[in-house]
Chains A and B, each alone.
Chain A
Amino acid sequence: MDLLANLALGFSVALSPFTLFLAVVGCFLGTIIGALPGLGPSNGVAILIPLAFSLGLDATSSLVLMTSVYYGAMYGGRISSILLNIPGDEPALMTTLDGYPMAKAGRAGDALVLSGFASFFGALFATIGLMLLAPILSRIAYQFGPAEYFALYLLAFSTLGGIASSNQAKAALASCIGLGIAMIGLDNQTGMPRLTGGNLHLLDGIDFLVAIVGLFAVAEVFIFIESHGRGSSIGVKLDKVTLPVRELVRGIGTMIRCSVIGFIAGVLPGAGASLGSFLAYVAEKKWRGGESSGFGKGNPQGVIAPEAGNNSAAGGALVPMLTLGVPGSGTTAVLLALLMTLNITPGPTLFTDRPEVVWGLIASLLIANFVLLAMNVPLVKIFVKILTVPAWVLLPGVMMISFVGIFSLTGSYFDLLLMIVFGIIGWLFRKLNIPTVPIILGILLGKHMEDALRRAMILSDGDWTYLFSSGIAIGLWAFAVLGFVAPLFLRHLIKKPQAVSD
């Protein structure tokens, strides 16, 4: 029983008092970050990475801390969705559709408890799925050569551009920008500088953390300045929290169905949690009888469905991230950045070379999940208090933490300026409806993608057909093309529900 032995190893790491302490701290911070309006898992984790790094923790500890924050933020995101109708990030949008009407009808407590249990179920399902699927996938990943990896990276970009965005050209452009930025700096193969414009600061390339914090956190500050913090503190009061047993029992089927859907969506590279919560919501609505089901008007099942799907997708997204090094969502892209900062190379070798990292992480996720259930159901009132932090205190705080994080990481004013530039780009792109996640993915994967291509060409001595020389590679190419083109035709069939407005 490999699995049990591995889990035993994982728990021996995760149950050490210090790791346990980090998991609890991470869950607590994560839930706060998720609950804060305007902060979601991606930007929350982004601003904490530089700080976690400068704490000097070892790889396993930092990874446990940050993934606890990630899971916590996925849980916490529902609090601001339900009470304020402000989703912390895109996947949480689906929770507002029924959560906010429920809260307006005086059932905020029920909505929070039900969604808390749904989150727990989704995350637990996904963690177990991760445990079973990741080792298998990592064994398959051993057969991946450079040609397969190149096709895989392409698949990640095309699903991100195809399924997860509304305009293919804009998503492809964002990917190109990210990949283009990754080219800046010394060439891995020849050792010559590329596209630096003679600037010495650019010889090392652009640090992806600078780009991530700029695009996610600083851009958010600009968005709030633009809106002058409007609509950030009008909310619904939470009176008492009870356990709606009957609806919880009725929701078990929903949780199982939506966790499965969410997990599959999460495992697809590039698709991620937004797709998971969206598909789970739409499918459950169909299952319950379409328009007559009361979905969108405060049906409790409409809160359970997207939360189970969302959290399950978040865990599923860790599968391609850990086994192949290809993140499945914006936040896992940020976690990949964390791994790279810690000098851990994700991929099949991670499971054999550093089993204590992988299994320690999985065991911590299992523990974190129970901690989060305890924090998010009985103690939810504490976190609701956090929603009253006004935007004019919160956002300057986010800004200062971003600055100090990047400053303590690199100590150079050039990187701070670069972060501001990325913030402006992030704001502009948000206005123009250009997704920013492909930029991050591009910066993270650019060098690897190019290296894979060049190594493939060295192996085949310049023969381009080598890229399509194996079954796996052809399959990945086919999925890449399909993933990019198919949504063009499906867009008329599946329409995204619009957010509820007052």
Chain B
Amino acid sequence: MNSDRLFGVVVILGALAYAAGALQIQTSFMSDPVGSKTFPLVLAGVAVICGLIMIFRPEADPDWPGLATLGSLAISVIVMVGYAYAIKPLGFMLPTALCAAILSFQISPRAVPSALTGVGLSVGLFIVFKFALGLGLQPFPKGWF
């Protein structure tokens, strides 16, 4: 109940922000009867109606995970964001091994299999990407070898 209501409020606020953004769109000298604002505004309107329906006719709450699981989800997100920034400067091998190992550990918390998974995926995928698919990946940071 409450999850849907809360999300409905978020949707309405988001839709209003979107509509406000749409009103700021600059128009140019070339214009057509509909213009660049109408369609986004209609979308925001429909979204507000959907949000209201979610508030007034909510469905049953889903099973939200416990704090520990939310923690491991948060860790996974942080690791992925770090990976997104690391893959260019640090090359493919090291970040991939680390990131895959941590993700594997979040799914099944056993240190040795996770570490092996990380290293195995890093080496295996690199070979596939580089030699079978011919992608231009940098294995290690520039200047190491």
Contact = CB atoms under 8 A, between A and B. Distances in A.
B108 A229 contact: yes
A229 B109 CA distance: 11
A413 B104 CA distance: 23
B113 A195 contact: no
Contacts of A457: 32-34
Contacts of A226: 65, 69, 73
Given A169-B54, A180-B40, A194-B40, A396 B73 contact: no
Interface in A258-278: none
A433 interface: yes
Given A226-B73, A400-B121, A401-B125, A54 B133 contact: yes
Contact of B36 (A190, A393, A462): A190
A396 B134 contact: no
B3 A432 contact: yes
A380 to B, nearest CB: 25
B125 to A, nearest CB: 6
A401 B134 CA distance: 14
B135 A54 contact: yes
Interface stretch (A90-98, A134-142, A170-178, A350-358): A170-178
Contacts of A221: 76, 103
Interface residues of B, number: 72
Contact of A391 (B32, B107, B118, B121): B107
B80 A172 contact: no
Contacts of A413: 84-85, 87-88
A169 B57 contact: yes
Contacts of B107: 224-225, 228-229, 391-392, 395-396
For the complex, would chain B's binding face be called helix, strand, loop or mixed by DSSP majority? Answer: helix
Contacts of A249: none
For the complex, would chain A's binding face be called helix, strand, loop or mixed by DSSP majority? Answer: helix
Contacts of B47: 173, 176-177, 180
B22 A190 contact: no
A192 B62 contact: no
Interface stretch (A80-88, A332-340, A403-411): A403-411
Contacts of A167: 59
A222 B54 CA distance: 25
B39 A453 contact: yes
Given A176-B46, A180-B44, A195-B22, A461 B81 contact: no
A179 B50 CA distance: 14
Nearest to B100: A396
A225 B108 CA distance: 8
B25 A195 contact: yes
A390 interface: yes
Interface in B29-73: 30-34, 36, 39-40, 43-44, 46-47, 49-51, 53-54, 57, 59, 62, 64-65, 69, 72-73
Contacts of A195: 18, 21-22, 25, 40
A324 interface: no
Given A180-B43, A190-B27, A396 B121 contact: yes
Interface in B108-124: 108-109, 113-114, 117-118, 120-122
Contacts of B31: 190
B108 A390 contact: yes
A30 to B, nearest CB: 17
Given A176-B46, A392-B107, A424-B77, 11 more contacts: A169-B53, A169-B54, A169-B57, A173-B50, A192-B26, A194-B25, A221-B76, A225-B69, A401-B125, A420-B80, A461-B33
26 contacts: A167-B59, A173-B47, A173-B54, A183-B39, A187-B25, A187-B36, A190-B30, A191-B30, A194-B36, A221-B76, A225-B73, A226-B65, A226-B69, A228-B107, A392-B104, A396-B118, A397-B100, A400-B99, A403-B87, A413-B85, A417-B81, A420-B77, A424-B77, A433-B59, A454-B34, A458-B33
**What 9 A-B pairs come out closest when comparing CB atoms?**
A462-B33, A416-B84, A173-B50, A169-B53, A392-B108, A396-B100, A396-B103, A176-B47, A457-B33
